[in-house]
A and B are shown apart, each in its own frame.
Chain A
Amino acid sequence: MADNLLDAIQLRKEFGGLVASNNVDFAIPRGSIVSLIGPNGAGKTTFFNMLTGVYKPTAGRILFDGEDITGKPPHAITERGIGRTFQNIRLFPLMTAVENVLVGMNCRLRGGIIGAIIRPPRVRREEKLARERARELLAYSGLPTRHTELARSLPYGDQRRLEVARALATEPKLLLLDEPTAGMNPQETADFIGFVSRLPDDRGLTVLLIEHDMKVVMGVSDRVTVLEYGEKIAEGTPGEVQRNERVIEAYLGKGATE
């Protein structure tokens, strides 16, 4: 437990009578890439939304970097160092690519309302540096050009890359990627997985990946957790999980193991 960046303890979420997350224990070791997989409707995104503060857990606690963040609002959690992308791309469509990334930097910048109007040298410098950094992040994330185009006019793959750049702009310690390869072709998926696998060494990041496609996560993950109907059914290295009978059952149905 000592070197876990995130610990979720007995995390539970009920929607009316539906238990979307049933007392799940979950840990993310610092500097690792951990994947959360499971069939559609297994409660992956619910779990994700609890970590990022979109949902308040019905019960249980979330410890991040030694601090209890259970029930904190999303912006406060982002400020503490959890950045995320969305399963369905949620950029700010009528802002440019650079502006999208600058919004991600919001909690790392200091300029207030008076500074915005008067624009003292301090604010000018901050804005200039922020714009330079935004362009660097875009280039790093695979978007070397088209920085001043509106987000909505970018092609699909670039929108995905922009979302990652925006999440990186929040300067996260933990990056949560919610089905980032959805809609990508095999080549794009392979490129993206390569990109993700470099993040821990490149930027000292810890990554939590959500996928329902098992093949995607096997190559890149240090550990894999499998959810089904809101319950954790398996956990371990990719190899262990792949051989686990309950996992095979969950993915291929009963009978596949017999």
Chain B
Amino acid sequence: MSTARATFTERWRQLPDVVQRLALPALVLLLAILYPWYFGGLPGAFPAVETAVIMLIFTVMALGLNVVVGYAGLLDLGYVAFYAAGAYVAAWLASVQFEQVTFHLGSIGIVDTLPGIHISIWIVLVAAALFTTIVGVLIGLPTLRLRGDYLAIVTLGFGEIVPQVVRNGDDFGGFDLTHGTFGISPIDSIGFGNTLNDTLGLPASYQTSTNRAELFYLTALALLLFTVFCSVRLRDSRLGRAWIAIREDETAAAAMGVPLMRTKTWSYATGAFFGGLAGAFYAVFKSGAFPSDFFFNFSIFILCMVILGGMGSVWGVIVGGLVLSYLDREGLAKVGSFASDVLNRPIDVPKYAFGVYGAIIVAMMLFRPAGMIPEKRHRLEIDEGVESAAVASAEQGGDGRRGDG
């Protein structure tokens, strides 16, 4: 038995580098793509496809926030503002909200005379992301001059302002912008329309399809892959290095020719782009933008994903995002019903959700401060620390590097 394993390992090592490097990601990707078709055979703890869609969307958002918090080190406590902006742009551009006008562009599954703006959801997703990027720049320009805690407080303010505007935006001098607490619903369906359905067999409309959940799942997965791709490419670029340099030492970065404002604004805009994209897709999936989704604690929830996974680490944030959103949408309820069965009394675990997340974060900070999968550069450092623990503790003791004379 052990010899068989040895030969396997040996043969594996002889395979080309590319195969060794890509084998695991390819396997994970394959399992992810096929998930809706085999999860029925898995134990009950695995998330339903509908839940998986939301997990993927939240993970896209976590990756977007990771660009701001993890790469550039700017603590943003108002990320929900971008989420809301994206969702409402989707609602504006693909519903009967603005019934004063009738505008159709590539809309599917509705009659051409339906009032309101109805633009193809594919275009809407791009438009929402771009609009949110602009919002990010507009919020960023006045606030990013602030450092550290001050920036956190101001973003906290914006994270509260945007949802409040949304909640009360049903009467701007008689103009109904957001339909107040009711939200905007329904949003047009995403799909490829009848022509493409007939010629290429692409789904005409997700919402009316019998495979609704699977279609949304695959699209969300594609969005996540796109986000991961951008995150990785940005990390290893001139801009990504400038972000990390600012995180590490702002004064030194400026002295090395990194323009602070411009670089920070790019990180904010990038984070906003993915926040808006995810928000728009979420609204399309739910077929509505509802103000009850955009509370302050959602910002903290996404931030927890980043911290749990490992700030700056793309793979860590993916794991953190999937784990926390699973717990939020399904996991805690399942733990609750399991506990209720065992203890024979009703225990409502989801009620304590933020208590649970808080406990997780505290535990992480104590036992794995760099996150579940630390950023590669962090990990190097930590591995080294294990070998020479004495040196590491000595360094921690007397770190006077930050004070510049």
Contacts and interface: CB of A to CB of B under 8 A. Distances in A.
Contacts of B245: 92, 95, 103, 106
A78 interface: yes
Contacts of B405: 45, 87-88
Interface in B131-147: none
Interface in A148-174: 149-150, 152-153, 166-167, 169-170
Interface of A: 45, 52, 54, 73-76, 78-79, 84, 86-96, 99, 102-104, 106-109, 111-113, 115-117, 119, 123, 127, 149-150, 152-153, 166-167, 169-170
Contact of B234 (A52, A73, A93, A116): A116
A95 B248 contact: yes
A116 B404 CA distance: 33
Interface residues on B, range: 35 or more
A106 B241 contact: yes
A106 B257 CA distance: 6
Given A75-B259, A170-B257, A88 B400 contact: yes
Contacts of A112: 239
Given A92-B249, A95-B248, A95-B377, A78 B241 contact: no
Given A94-B248, A106-B258, A117 B234 contact: yes
A75 B254 contact: yes
B256 interface: yes
A96 B234 CA distance: 17
A166 B255 CA distance: 10
A59 B255 CA distance: 22
Nearest to B261: A73
Given A54-B251, A92-B248, A92-B252, A153 B377 contact: no
Nearest to A46: B405
A52 B384 contact: no
Nearest to B388: A153
A153 B384 contact: yes
A42 B327 CA distance: 60
A52 B255 contact: yes
Interface in B361-405: 375, 377-378, 380-381, 384, 395, 400-401, 403-405
Contact of B255 (A54, A88, A150): A54
Interface of B: 229-230, 233-234, 237-242, 244-245, 248-249, 251-260, 266, 270, 375, 377-378, 380-381, 384, 395, 400-401, 403-405
Top-4 shortest CB links A-B: A116-B237, A107-B257, A78-B257, A92-B248
20 contacts: A54-B254, A54-B255, A75-B259, A86-B252, A91-B252, A93-B248, A94-B248, A94-B381, A95-B245, A103-B258, A104-B257, A106-B238, A106-B258, A112-B239, A113-B239, A116-B233, A117-B234, A127-B237, A150-B384, A152-B395
